[in-house]
Structure formats: structure tokens, C-alpha cells
Structure 1
Amino acid sequence: MAQDVERKLGLPALIGMVVGSMVGAGIFSLPRTFGGATGVAGAVIAWAIAGGGMYALARVFQILAERKPDLDAGVFAYAKAGFGDYAGFLAAFGYWIGSCIGNVSYWVLIKSTLGAFFPFFGDGNTVAAIATASVGIWAFHFLILKGVQQAAFINAVVTVAKVIPIVLFILILLLAFKADLFRANLWGSFSHAGLFEQVRRTMLVTVFVFIGIEGASVYSRHAQRRSHVGAATLIGFTSVLMLMVLVSLLPYAVMTQADIAGLRQPSMAGVLAHVVGPWGAVFVSVGLLISVLGAYLAWSLICAEVLFAASRNNDMPAVFSRMNRNGVPSTALWVSNGVVQLFVISTYWSSDAFALMLNLTSVMSLVPYLLVAGYGFTLARRGGAHSPAETRRRDLTLAGIAVVYTGFMVLAGGTKYMLLSALLYAPGTALYFWARAEQGRRVFRRWELWLFAAACAGCFAAVVGLGRGWLVI
């Protein structure tokens, strides 16, 4: 049965995986996130940096898909090929756990959205919200167990359905555009920080909304044609970038920056309600529920696929490579949703669960992205068949930009989230020990041992910081 499932996703379905993965919770939170940090000028600069960096990364994924067709599941496979077994494991684990945390943010935002109409959901982290989210987690779980093709088809339908409200939001704001108000919001008068600081404050959210750019690459083993992987990545990226830029910039033309910054999340609902009345909030809220549930479906597929592919490539314990009769990596799916459940429960003790999950997801995903960009750069430097002379300069430039961008973003995330990521990476390495023991292989090379020691030191610092109140979640 597994063979019947493989290699049946065409270009439209792969584009749907990319768009469905990227258009989720983040886009509906953009107006307030940008309004609370910067004005029009800072937003334009932020999107220029993020768009340029992520475009370069998307092209790296495209180039690697073409030049290294034997490497399935993209993210972790490229890291392992470039930097060794432990780096491959860290990329797989970081991407997997970051994806699980991102799924938690979806449930928090769903319940926060419903909280505007049903107060017992609060900001998405009440007991009622956690209980309802738990039901949703396992309902999706059993849907996916029925088969990848069925879930991918549903994802394609939902992707179309959730883009429609966003497009209508953009069209309505274009009709209500006030040039004088847009000019008044140009320099971010509401925020007293300098322009550079304003831009920096938006950086992690731009990473969050772009996560999913590699959706087609992760699911490449199901593609009808390998060339579709790169095409789907670029088409999906370009389409979503246009939507996100417009969603974040147009509110400055209908509201003051201070009013935008004071909106409840999902802030797109508040913006539309300001323009057309209360029905606008209901309209956006329904669109958000469709969008986030669709994104959750896409990311549940990706979470299980990454863990399965890593196991199949001997980077995770063999138990995660088990598949059910429908060709679904069932053990990986059970473990992934179990982790999501635990993180959902943990939101009860968080003061701002959505922001915490958003930022932590971004930081966890940046390490795998950095390793992928680094592999693309080293491959281009070597030249040969993997980087022909006529495209070598282009490949080096794109990969170099991607390395600088992802490296800068890791640092821009701040010490807090770097330590919290170490809090996950260090104990997560137990899975690597398990896998190496199964295979009877040496655990670390010398430099890998130093990398593990650094993760342990960061984990210890995080535990101390949380215990003494230096780190607040």
C-alpha cells in the first residue's frame, strides 16, 4: 500500500503544501505586530530584508532539489550531507520540534479568536481552551491516519478557501485607502525606538510567517516529478509574500499606528471591523479558523514526514519509520501529536502563549535553515557537476545571502530564545544516542562532542534562568 501512495502529488498539490504551510496563524497577526513595532518605512525595510533573505533561501532549496535529487525530506538531509550526522540530527530534531511548537500556536490563536465571542476561551490558554484544542489535535490525528492523499486533497481545498478572505480583506482596504493617513504613519511616530530597532522587532515574526517555504521539499518523496518541487517552492513563496506585504502595509492607510498597535489578536479582524463594521471581525475570524485549521493539517503531515524520513535515514530511532496500511508514518504521527499535546497543556502557565510559541518556533526553524544555506554554499564552492561553471556565481551569491540572512536572524532572536532552544536540543539528543546505539555506531566525532557540550551548557543556563526568574515564558 505504501508504494501506491508515493510519488502522486502533482505541481498544484505541492504548491498547495507550500501555501497551506505558510498561510496560517502568522498572517492574521501581522497588522498589530507591525503596528506595535514600526511604521510604514520600517515595515517596508523589514519585508525587503525578509523577502530578499527568504527568496535566496527558496532558491537554495530549488537548486538543491535539482542538483541533489537523491536527498529526500530536504531540510535535515541537506544538513547531514554538508556537516555530518549530528548536524543532520539537530536539523531534523529542530525542524520537527519547531513544527510541533508552531502547531501549538495555531491552537492558541484559534481559541483566542473564539475568545472574542466566548469569553471562557480567554486568550487561548484557559482550561476550556486547552481541553477543546486537545479534542482538535486528536481529531486531525485520526484523519491523517486514513492516508496522505486524502489529507493532501483536503489541504488543497482548504488552501483555496482560506486565501479568499485574505484577498477580500486586501481589496476592501485598497478601496478605503487614505493617502494622508498612510503618510502620517510613514516613520513610526508611535514608537520612540530608532528605525533599526523598529525593524529588528519585526524580524522573528517575518521568519514565522515564512516557515513552510520548504513544504514541497519536505514532501518531495511524494512528488510526481522532482522538477515540481523547486517550481512549487518559488510559486508558493512569491504568492504568499505579496499577500503578507499587503496585509501588513494597508492597515496604515485606514488606521493610526497607535490604534493598530492596540488591536486584539487576530488584528486583521479589528482592522476590517474598523473599516466596514462588526461583520468584518466575524468575516476575518471565520477566515482565520479555516486558514489555521488548514495550516495545522499541512504541518501535522510535515511533522510526521520529517520524523519518518530521519528515521529511514538512520538519524532517528528505527521505531519512527513504521507505516500503517495507508502509507502514513503512524508512529511518527503519534509521537508528534503527543508532543503537541504536552506543549498545549504547558500554555496554561504562559503569560503570552501565542508570542512565546511564535518566537520559539522561529528560532528552532532557523538552525535547520542556516545549515541548509551553508550546505548550498559549500556545494557551490566545490563546483563540478553540482554547480556548473555557468551558474556557479549565481549559486554562490544566492547561498551566501541565505547564510548571512539566517545567521543574522539567529542572533536577532536574542539570548532568551537561543537558551530556550538549547533547553530542547540538549535533552532531545537522547534520540540520537538511541539511534546510534541501535546501529552500533560511534556517537560523536570530536567537533560534534563540542557542539553537544555547547547545547548542554545552554540548557543548564536556561534551567537556572527559569528557576531564578531571569527567563520568563
Structure 2
Amino acid sequence: MSTSKIGLLSLTALVFSSMVGSGVFSLPQNMAFVANGEALLMAWLITGVGILFLAFAFLYLTRQRPDLDGGIYNYAREGFGELIGFCSAWGYWLCTTIGIVGYVVIAFSAVGMFTDRPDHVYFGEGNTLYALIGSSIFVWMVHWLVSQGIKEASLVNLMATIAKIIPIVIFIFFTFIAFKLELFKQNYFDFSLQMPVWEQVRNLMLITLWVFTGIEGAVVLSSRAKKRNDIGRATILGVLLALSFYVLVTVLSYGVANRAELADMHNPSMATILEQLIGLPGTIIITLGLIISVCSSYLSWTLFATEIPFLAAKNKAFPQFFLKTNRNNVPIASLWLTSIVVQISLIAVCFFDKNYMQLLLISSVMILLPYFLVSAFYLKESLRNKRSKHIWIALIAVLYASWLLYAAGISLLLLSGCLYLVGLFIFFYSRYTNKRESYHKS
């Protein structure tokens, strides 16, 4: 029976791995397409401050409220009631479960770069029959791995995280050597986009909006941590490491190629840049790194998706069958539900690709509400305890979380609201069945 707890290193790897998936490998092109060097530095400064203060909210809440495990759900429930707590858990689980499908699709799309030929496409964009078969095998292999124990799965994720850091470090090393300050200055003062700097910054922050999702990883698995203080430390360390890599990858890229050239590159643009610097091995290194990266991110998010319904069921917000665990102390009902939903989504990708991608975008917005609720709960706790330092930290975290909601756009927020309404049926069903069971017992 697996009852081992997760240490600081594995917790940090979970936070880092959940944030750094496929996005980092396309950041140079994505950012160069919408902004010059000046806007790039300003956007990273604002994002860096905002995300660090959101991380501080998680850090201090784990210390102020050690009685609350799995923060994303319990912080919202404690601060704003059962219904809001449920909405936080439901939105987070739905975003996590539907969102991780994208990792599997990207992984097999990357495999296709090695196997596909003009006359015969095997994996394509990750939406072919071959990709469906391969991704389905992968999903159930991860299902089996997680069922063997959370600790064991986190150790595998740690090894995969180390493996995916290596290609990023190689990229940073060679772009640092090739970096030309004059070229960076040219990109810094590039006015060819013909739009105000503030608008470029806003467009960049719409990109950075998504690259830090996963910051809550250590908090979600807080009940599995060896030491309570490791939860907050892992969050801060994971964010600092991810932020450092993101900044270095993008800033150094602006010093090795013209902004317009970067903007026209095919993704993953890191592969194109490194190939220009060291030849074909550059493409191979980055592509392999991309495959390892998205696979480890899938594992991280599967752990989170498995934990949240279990925690919600403890407080009777989710049906009680989610409390079921196997001999390795893994919430097996949650794991089965997550794997089945992922499998159905993969089938949707294969046969209804356009419709699924819209659903993926809508569900991704749902994670922003839990972030806002965490920072709002931190502000509420700080005001209640009259701690001025924490009030200021919480205010900045709330402002940043509010910005994330604003940047997502009203249309996506309204559409995600429809998915929240679907979840209300589960909430009221759970409340009804729990009351009925309590009545029969009495």
C-alpha cells in the first residue's frame, strides 16, 4: 500500500511541469508576432510581479490556514460558501480534464514530425486514427501509473521534468552565445507593427495568461506533502524557475533574429531557431523536448484532476462515490472518471476537431475563477486578521487575477458560465443524495 508523502523536490517539479508544457516551445514566434522588444520587457515585468504575488497568496494561505487541504477548492469554500466552493472545484476539474487532452494531441503531432511523409501521414496534427490509437494507449498507461500511488507518479514526473529542462537549457546556452545586442536594440525599437506599446503589452499578456496555469499544483496535492512548509516553497520555486526560463527563451530570441523573421517562423519556433544555430540536431533536440514536456505535464495535471473531486466529495459537494480509494490510497473513482472523459475527448478530436478546440478554449477560461477566489480569500483573511503587509500582497494578487478574467474576454467568460451551470446539476444532486442518506441513517 502506497502511503508515502511527496517531498519538496517532487512538489516543485509538479508545479514547474504543470506550467511548462508545450507553450514555451512556441513563445518566441507567438510574442514576436504581436510585440517589439520594448513591449516584451514591459509585459514580462508586469506578468512577473503579478504571478509572484499570486504565488505569495498560495504561500501565505498554506501557512495561515494549515487546516485547509487542496486549496483551490477549500479556500473558495471556506471564504465564500458551499456553492462557490463547488464552482471552483467543478471549473478546475473540467478545465484540467478537457485541457490535458491538448497535451496528448500535441505530443503525437510532434511524433509525426519524425514519422510522417508527404505521401503518407500517420499522426498529422494529432487527430488521425493512428494518433487516436497511440494517445489512447498513452492515457491508459498514465492511468495505471497514477493508480500505483501518487508518490510513485510524482517521482516519474520528477525524472520527466529534469529530462524536459535539458533541451530548454541547451537552447538558452546557444542563443546566449549567438546573442547580438545591436540586433536586440533593433527589435526593441521596432515600430513596424504600427500600434501603441500599451496595446502590444496587452496582446503579450493574453499569451502569458496561459503559460502560468498550474501554479496551484503543490496546493492541490497539499494533503500528500511531507512537510506543510514545502507546499508554499514549491510554489515559489516552481514559479521562479518557470519565469526565468520564459524570460530567457524570449529575450534571447530577440537577440538572434529579426522580429519579423521570428514572427514568420513555424512552431515550435524554438526548434527553428536552434536549427539555424546548430543545424538539424537543433530540431531533433527541441522536438524530443516538446514530446517529453507535454507528456510530463499530462501526468501532473492528471494527478490534480484526480485529487479535486476526492476533496470536494469529502465535503459532500461531489457525489460520495468519489471518496473511493484503492489499496494505494489513490482516489480511484476520480481517476477513472478523468481517464474516461479524456478518452471521449480524444475521440472528439479525431472526428470533430473544430468543435472540440472551441470547447478546449472555453474550458481553459474556467481555471481563472479559482485563481480569483484564492486571491480574494487571501485578502479576506488578511483583512480579518488586520495584517497590513498581507493586505497589500493580497490586493495586488486580486488585481492580477481580475486582469486575467478581463483579458480572457466577455464572450469566453459567458460561454464558460454555461459549463458552470451544467455543474450545478451535480451540486444539487450531491446535496439531495447526502441529505437523503442522512435522513435514512437517523
**Both proteins in one fold, TM over 0.5:** yes
Aligned-residue offset at 1:355: 8.9
**Which moved further from structure 2: 195-204 or 368-377?**
195-204
Query: 1:436-457 deviations in whole A, cap 9, x for unaligned?
Result: 112229xxxxxxxxxxxxxxxx
1:466 is matched with which residue?
Answer: none
Distance (Å, rounded) in 2 between the aligned partners of 1:266 and 1:353: 22
Coordinate RMSD, CA, aligned: 2.0
1:190 & 1:284 partners in 2: Cα distance?
Answer: 30
1:333 matched to which residue of 2? Answer: 335
Instruction: Find out whether 1:399 has 2:401 as its counterpart.
Output: no
2:54 to 54, 57, 61: 57
Residues of 1 paired with 2:266 and 2:293: CA distance?
18
**Residue type of the alignment partner of 1:147:** G
Query: 1:365 Cα deviation (Å)?
Result: 1.1
Secondary structure of the corresponding residue to residue 65 of structure 1: helix
Q: Residue 108 of structure 1: CA displacement?
A: 2.3
Please state how far the C-alpha of 1:199 moved relative to its aligned partner: 2.0
User: Once the two structures are superposed, what CA deviation does each residue of 1:285-311 show, in whole Å capped at 9, x if it has no partner?
Assistant: 111111111111111111101121111
Contact persistence 1:105–1:353 (CA under 8 A): no
What per-residue deviation string (whole Å, max 9, x for no partner) do you get for residues 411-434 of structure 1? 111133213312321112221122
Give, in angstroms, the shift of residue 373 of structure 1. Answer: 0.5
Cα displacement string for residues 126-163 of structure 1 (whole angstroms, at most 9, x for unaligned residues): 33333322221112111211211211111111111111
Which one of the candidate residues 111, 115, 139 is aligned to 2:112? Answer: 115
Change in CA separation of 1:113 and 1:259 when aligned onto 2, cut-off 3 Å: farther
TM-score by length of structure 2 reads 0.92
* 2:324 counterpart of 1:302: no
- Using the alignment, how far apart are the partners of 2:435 and 2:226 within structure 1? 36
**Is the 2:363–2:416 contact (alpha carbons within 8 Å) kept by the matching residues of 1?**
no
User: What percentage of aligned pairs have identical amino acids?
Assistant: 39
Counterpart of 1:44, as a letter, is L
Q: Contact 1:315–1:432 at 8 Å: present in 2 too?
A: yes
Contact 2:345 2:356 in 1 (8 A): no
CA distance in 2, matches of 1:195, 1:159: 35
> Pick from 409, 414, 427: which aligns with 1:414?
409
Q: Which residue of 2 aligns with 1:98?
A: 95
Counting only pairs closer than 5 Å after superposition, residues 269-280 of structure 1 correspond to structure 2 as: 269-280=271-282
1:343 offset after TM fit, Å? 2.6
The correspondence for 2:378, drawn from 363, 376, 379, is 376
**Superposition pairs for residues 238-277 of structure 1, below 5 Å?**
238-277=240-279
Moved more, 96-105 or 110-119: 110-119
1:199 equivalent in alignment to 2:201: yes
1:86 aligned residue (77, 83, 99)? 83
Per-residue deviation, residues 33-55 of structure 1 (Å, max 9, x unmatched)? 11211121222122122211111
AA matched with 2:179? F
Q: Which residue of 2 aligns with 1:13?
A: 10
Structure 2 residues not aligned, in runs of 5+: 437-442
The residue that corresponds to 1:210 in the other structure is 212
* Contact kept? 1:71, 1:78, Cα under 8 Å: yes
- Could you tell me how far apart the structure 2 residues matched to 1:352 and 1:53 are? 33
Cα distance, 1:355–1:161 mapped onto 2, change above 3 Å: farther
| 1:175 aligned residue | 177
Instruction: Point out the more displaced range, 393-402 or 423-432.
Output: 423-432
Q: After TM superposition, give the deviation of residue 203 of structure 1 in Å.
A: 2.3
Counterpart position of 1:426:
421
Residues 10 and 155, structure 2, Cα contact 8 Å, conserved in 1: yes
Structure 1 unaligned blocks of 5 or more: 384-388, 442-473
Displacement, 1:322? 0.8
Rounded Cα–Cα distance in structure 1 between residues aligned with 2:34 and 2:356: 19
Distance, in Å, in 1 between the alignment partners of 2:9 and 2:87 is 31
Give the 3-state SS of the residue equivalent to 1:253 in structure 2: coil
Kindly state the Cα deviation for residue 353 of structure 1 after the two structures are TM-superposed.
Answer: 7.1
Equivalent residue for 1:219?
Answer: 221
| Cross-structure match for 2:162 | 160
**Cα pair distance change 1:429/1:21, threshold 3 Å:** same
Q: 1:265 and 1:351 mapped to 2: Cα distance?
A: 20
Kindly indicate whether residue 44 of structure 2 is the aligned counterpart of residue 47 of structure 1. Answer: yes
Task: Show the counterpart of 1:446.
Answer: none
State the Cα distance separating 1:249 from its structure 2 match.
1.7
Contact 2:20 2:211 in 1 (8 A): yes
Give 1:242 shift.
Answer: 0.4
Q: Cα–Cα, structure 1 residues 128 and 257, in superposed 2: closer, same or farther, change >3 Å? A: farther
Q: Say whether the 8 Å CA contact 1:158–1:291 is kept in structure 2.
A: yes
The structure whose RCO (Cα within 8 Å, separation 6+) is larger is: 2
What is the identity, as a one-letter code, of the residue corresponding to 1:436?
R
Q: Between 201-210 and 24-33, report the one with greater CA deviation.
A: 201-210
User: Paired residue for 2:434?
Assistant: 439
d(CA) in 2 for partners of 1:352 and 1:315?
Answer: 30
Output the amino acid matched with 2:406: L
CA distance in 1, matches of 2:434, 2:393: 37
Q: What do residues 365-399 of structure 1 show as CA deviations (whole Å, max 9, x unaligned)?
A: 1100000000000111111xxxxx6xx12211111
What is the aligned residue count?
430
CA 1:37/1:341 → structure 2, altered by over 3 Å: closer, same or farther? farther
- The DSSP-based 3-state class of the residue aligned with 1:229 is helix
Measure how far apart 1:77 and its partner are. Answer: 0.5
Check conservation: 2:143, 2:339, Cα contact below 8 A: yes
Q: Against the structure 1 CA distance between its residues 303 and 279, is the aligned structure 2 distance closer, same or farther, given a 3 Å change threshold?
A: same
Q: Cα–Cα, structure 1 residues 265 and 178, in superposed 2: closer, same or farther, change >3 Å?
A: same
1:129-144 alignment, distance < 5 Å: 129-144=131-146
The one-letter code matched in structure 2 to 1:174 is: F
CA distance in 1, matches of 2:356, 2:187: 29
Q: Return the alpha-carbon distance in structure 2 between the equivalents of residues 110 and 79 of structure 1.
A: 34
Whether contact under 8 Å (2:157, 2:296) holds in the other structure is yes
Structure 1 position 89, deviation (Å): 0.6
CA deviation vs aligned residue, 1:91-112 (integer Å, no higher than 9, x gap): 1111111112331121222123
Matched residues in 2 for 1:193 and 1:315: separation?
48
Q: Map of 1:60-79 to 2, 5 A cutoff?
A: 60-79=57-76
Distance 1:302 1:78 in 2: 16
Looking at structure 2, the residues matched to 347 and 192 of structure 1 have their Cα atoms a distance apart, in angstroms, of: 37
